[in-house]
Copies of this chain bind each other. A is one copy, B any other.
Amino acid sequence: VGHPVVTADWLNARGRSTLLIYGHYDVQPPDPLDQWKSPPFEPAIRDGYLYGRGAADDKGQMFVHVKAIESYLRTSGSLPVNVKCLFEGEEEIGSHNLYRFLAGRREAWKADAAVLSDMWMLGPDRPAIAESLRGALSAELEVRGQDRDLHSGNFGGAIHNPLQTLCEIIAKLHDSRGAIAIPGFFDRVRDVTPEERAYMARVGPGDALMLEDAGALLGWGEPGFSLYERTTIRPALSVNGIVGGYQGPGAKAVIPARAAAKLNFRLVPDQDPDEIDALFRRFVEQITPRTVRVLVRTLFRARPFVLHREHYAVRAARAALRKGIGVPPEFMRIGGTIPVAHLLQEELGIPTVLMGFALPGDRLHAPNERFLLSNFFRGIETSIHLLAELARL
């Protein structure tokens, strides 16, 4: 069951280093379909962009590296370094089969460096290498009260409504300033140096651009940090959904027997998802009133990723981007989570470089996903240079 892991290798560059190229060929669901200007699974070119689901995330960017390998093999007939390709089909649903696939094959998948192009540049002509990714912890919080749904006329005022209780618990997870209120939550958050923050302020998006990208008028969150910082070097907790009580049109006088919320933490070094899970559970227990029971189900855990900035593969990637795009790359911090980056670097021990060719506004996960074709071609050049640079080091 599941989508196969697709592999390929070329290991004839004796004495040279080995590059693992990761990509994923699965995509997010295309819904809502009616918002696509052309069918999501019929690639269409308009104004220099290729439109379609997966154009950027990640089929198009994965294909960049395939075309680079093809270029080498069709011209010189060989590659300058050894290459292992690892293409999975379940990235968007948790990569479970990839973990299983690699579990017994760690030796076979050893490499000196890995490259992933499942991300975007800072802007047109602003190539970037990912400096960090946040980790994640997803959980479901269920509040159970009385053993059946009640009529809110007959019982309103006498029974602690589980849906209200859920709201009260959620409201206590942040303090009034917008910081997460779980005791101990920040204990392991690594301070970022003033120099690094100054670098972020210089190259990263400002608050105005972040708000424009979000379609929001005002920012919010932990005091003392820019919006870019709040979404990258600081942890976050989001409520992703609540289910409870009557969901239809009009009114229904019900006190539901239970209510549940889906919560999503984003974690930064050196937070440990398991430790945060325990702190979260303990705090929820503390703030849960005796009138209800609470169940916490952990759905997903992923560790943060931090680039090995001084590794020679990073130097090679920087040189390749400078040559391929024509501009030296910057270091970019990312708020999202790519568990496979942690898997490759920390579990398989392969220094990993994330560099992408998509652009902000390419609508990854949304309707009318696209990929700028000129970036596709510049990406191929960059990948060719990466292989050459790795051979040189």
Residues in A lying within 8 Å of B, measured CB to CB: 28-29, 93, 134, 136, 138, 145-161, 163-164, 166-168, 170-172, 174, 178, 210, 214-222, 227-228, 230-231, 234-248, 250-257, 259, 262, 264, 266, 289-291, 299-300, 334-337, 363-366
Contact = CB atoms under 8 A, between A and B. Distances in A.
B266 A152 contact: yes
A174 B159 CA distance: 13
Given A238-B255, A251-B300, A231 B155 contact: yes
Given A168-B171, A170-B164, A239-B161, A299 B153 contact: no
A163 B252 contact: no
Contacts of A239: 161, 163-164, 167, 244-245
B231 A157 contact: yes
B241 A245 contact: yes
A342 B145 CA distance: 33
A222 B335 CA distance: 43
Given A148-B215, A246-B262, A238 B156 contact: yes
A197 to B, nearest CB: 16
Interface centre among A230, A254, A289, by most chain B C-beta atoms within 10 angstroms, is: A254
A286 B214 CA distance: 25
A220 B138 contact: no
A235 B257 CA distance: 21
A334 B154 CA distance: 7
Contact of A242 (B149, B240, B244, B250): B244
A168 B164 CA distance: 10
A335 to B, nearest CB: 5
Contacts of A163: 239-242
A220 B159 CA distance: 5
Contacts of A160: 178, 218, 220-221
Given A159-B216, A245-B241, A154 B251 contact: no
Nearest to A263: B251
B244 A214 contact: no
Nearest to A164: B239
Nearest to A338: B153
Given A158-B220, A239-B245, A264-B253, A151 B365 contact: yes
A230 B156 CA distance: 8
A266 B291 CA distance: 21
Given A238-B253, A259-B242, A264-B253, A218 B290 contact: yes
Given A156-B238, A157-B222, A161-B239, A252 B245 contact: no
B216 A240 contact: no
Contact of A254 (B241, B245, B248): B241
